Amino acid sequence: MRLATRRKLLQASVLSAPLLWTFLFLFLPYMILTTYSFYEKKFPTFVPAFQFGNYYQLISDPQYYQVIFRSGWIGGLTAICALLLAYPFCYFLVFVVKSARVRLALYMAVIIPLWVSYLLRAYTWKTILGYEGILNSFLVWAGFLSEPTDIFIYNKFSMVLTLTYIFIPFTVMPIYTSLEKIPRNLIEASKDLGAGSFLTFLKVTLPLSMPGVIAGMTFTFCLTSGDFLAPFLVGGPDGFLIANVMITQFGAALNWPLGSALSIIMLIVVLTIISLSDRFQRAGRLDLG
């Protein structure tokens, strides 16, 4: 057999498994979802059709478009909170901490919770914020409250807090990397040219870390707005996000076409955000050599 032929065969055999996997478990389900999203619901089941009724329902019924907006709002709020916490932390790690060992330890302290089950981490906040939780017990014990309150949980505050905690590693990682990649002599050059620490941050450090900021916010936004466990555990009755509605449509409501349409809309939103963020990152990704 010729070398070129052999090489092609080898390539095909190596690539076929992942390609097949991708096709069967990603591409095919997307196709099925898309098809279903045009079906018509006829209680108690649904019939094949090609119509836009499901999509129309999603954009005209406040019950649905509000949940889409809420998901975006919670996702955006969480991404901003995570950024405001992660950026100073990463800056501290990269520019202030002198010892490499301490830096690694602090970095790992943020990353390690990713090893712990997501459910457990979300549940932890229930035990902290809940009616009989740690916070309430403390406030009652300290005499600030006469009896426990549930103002800490089942609202937007508890949702954003929990989601920020859960997804902050995804903000920290890209920001840390982008700050670490900035050559130190650029910062020295800025100071040498007359800029103080604040101006140097504003004009050199911040612009050069923007790719990390964009990547981190995109991760957190997409993961948060697609989340369904946190609303379930700490979100309360009006805290449902888009994923919770999808589950209802595919489950109790038995309205697969509407659920599919919702999934497709979510998919389009997320893909749009990712491609936009990718474009921004590309524009910001510079040759640091």
Partner 1 sequence: MPAIIEVQNVFKQFGDGVIAVNDVSLSVEEGEFVTLLGPSGCGKTTMLRLVAGFESPERGKILLGGEDVTESPPYSRAVNMVFQDYALFPHMTVFENVAYGLKVSGVPKAEIGPAVDRALRTVEMQTQGDRQPHELSGGMRQRIALARALVREPRVLLLDEPLAALDANLRDQMRVELKHLHDRLGLTFLMVTHDQTEALVMADRVVLMNNGKIAQEGTPTDIYEHPQSTYVANFIGASNLMQGSVVDGSGDMVTISTGGGQLKASGSVAMHKALQGNVMVCVRPEKVHLLTNGQDAGDMNAIGGTVEELLFHGSSVRIKVNLDSGEPFLVDMQMKAPTASSGLPERGAQVRVAFTPENTSMFPAEASR
Please identify, using beta-carbon distances, which residue of 5 and 185 lies nearer to partner 1: 185
Q: Which stretch binds partner 1 (CB under 8 A): 24-32, 216-224, 231-239, 279-287?
A: 279-287
For partner 1, the binding residues in 109-148 under the rule CB under 8 A are none
CB of 98 to partner 1, least distance (A): 7
Determine, following the binding rule CB under 8 A, whether residue 282 of this chain makes contact with partner 1. Answer: no
- Cα–Cα distance measured from residue 282 to residue 289, given in angstroms and rounded to the nearest whole number: 16
Tell me which long-range contacts 54-58 makes (C-beta under 8 A, separation of at least 24): 54/257, 54/258, 54/260, 54/261, 55/261, 55/265, 57/258, 57/261, 58/258, 58/261, 58/262, 58/265
Q: Check residue 44 for interaction with partner 1 (CB under 8 A).
A: no
Of residues 125, 163, 158, the one with CA closest to residue 238 = 158
241 φ, ψ (degrees, to nearest 5): -105, 180
Query: What CA–CA distance (Å, rounded) separates 221 from 82?
Result: 10
Exposed e or buried b for every residue in 162-180, given b needs 16+ CB within 10 A? bbbbbbbbbbbbbbbbbbe
Rounded to a whole number of angstroms, the minimum distance from the CB of residue 197 to partner 1 is 9
279 scored as a contact of partner 1 (CB under 8 A): no
- Kindly tell me which of 132 and 192 has the beta carbon lying closer to partner 1: 192
Site membership for partner 1, residue 289 (CB under 8 A): yes
Please report, as residue ranges, which positions from 172 to 231 form the binding site for partner 1 (by CB under 8 A).
183, 185-186, 188-196, 199, 203-204, 207-208
Whole-number Å distance between alpha carbons of 239 and 213: 27
Position 100 contacts partner 1 (CB under 8 A): no
- Nearer to partner 1 among residue 40 and residue 188 (C-beta): 188
CB of 195 to partner 1, least distance (A): 4
178 touches 161 (CB < 8 A): no
Rule CB under 8 A: say whether 62 interacts with partner 1.
no
Kindly state whether residue 1 participates in binding partner 1, applying the rule CB under 8 A: no
Shortest distance in whole angstroms from residue 56 CB to partner 1? 46
Judged by CB under 8 A, the number of residues near partner 1 is: 23
Check binding of 88 to partner 1 (CB under 8 A): no
Q: Residues with Cβ < 8 Å from 67, sequence gap 6 or more?
A: 240, 241, 242, 244, 245
Say if CB 170 and CB 219 are below 8 A apart: yes
* Of residues 53 and 284, the one with the C-beta less far from partner 1: 284
Nearer to partner 1, 226 or 284 (CB): 284
What is the distance between the alpha carbons of residues 15 and 36, in angstroms, rounded to a whole number?
30
Q: Which is nearer to partner 1, 200 or 255 (CB)?
A: 200
- Give the binding site for partner 1 (CB under 8 A): 98, 183, 185-186, 188-196, 199, 203-204, 207-208, 284, 286-289
